[in-house]
Amino acid sequence: MPETLYYSRIDSPVGSLLLAVSDRGLVALEFGCGKIAAGWVESPERTAPYARQLEEYFLGRRRRFDRPLDLRGTDFQKRCWEELLQIPYGETRSYAEIARAIGNPLAVRAVGLANGQNPIAIMVPCHRVIGSDGSLIGYGGGLEVKRRLLELEGALSGSLV
């Protein structure tokens, strides 16, 4: 029997967000319309705890998310995403720093690709990853959204462009 995922859409200061949860945790948090797959069931009740934490985050009242995640990807991707979860609120890391932290310092481009495939925006904070020169590069929600999230967290210094 195929797995049922429950979803809802919420409005946020950075636009519409699509949330999808399994029985194990959050599977997807996407910007914009997102893609609803066959068998998904709309359920604002099931996604409410995640929506509540996002609302608190956008209001500046939450610095850490503590709801369960259901990360789905390759072993390498999951290692990268787990490392993203270690970046504290208000701080940034470079792709090279993430590559070193996962024990593969030559995998900078692969880390960038894994970041780009992160299915759980904001809660798995790929917006906190910047270029080695401090530049804002590569973000699925767009660079303006990345800038806004970093500003919200107080992580945007004058050197980030």
Q: From first to last of the 161 residues of the chain, give the pLDDT tens digit.
A: 788 999 999 999 999 999 999 999 999 999 987 778 888 999 999 999 999 999 999 999 999 999 999 999 999 999 999 999 999 999 999 999 999 999 999 999 999 999 999 999 999 999 999 998 989 988 888 999 999 999 999 998 655 44
Rounded CA Rg of the chain = 15
Alpha carbons 21 and 8: distance in angstroms, whole number: 9
Q: Contact 60/89 with Cβ under 8 angstroms?
A: no
Domain boundaries, the chain: 6-58, 75-153
Q: Is 80 tagged catalytic?
A: no
- The sign of the CA dihedral 75, 79, 81, 85 is positive
Give the global pTM. 0.92
pLDDT at 157: 62
The dotted CATH code for 75-153 is 1.10.10.10
Amino acid identity of 118?
N
Catalytic residue among 20, 21, 26, 126: 126
What is the DSSP code string of the chain?
Answer: -PPP-EEEEEEETTEEEEEEE-SSSEEEEEETT--PPTT-EE-HHHHHHHHHHHHHHHTT--S---S-B---S-HHHHHHHHHHTTSPTT--EEHHHHHHHTT-TT-HHHHHHHHHT-SBTTTS-GGGEE-TTS-----TT-HHHHHHHHHHHT---TT--
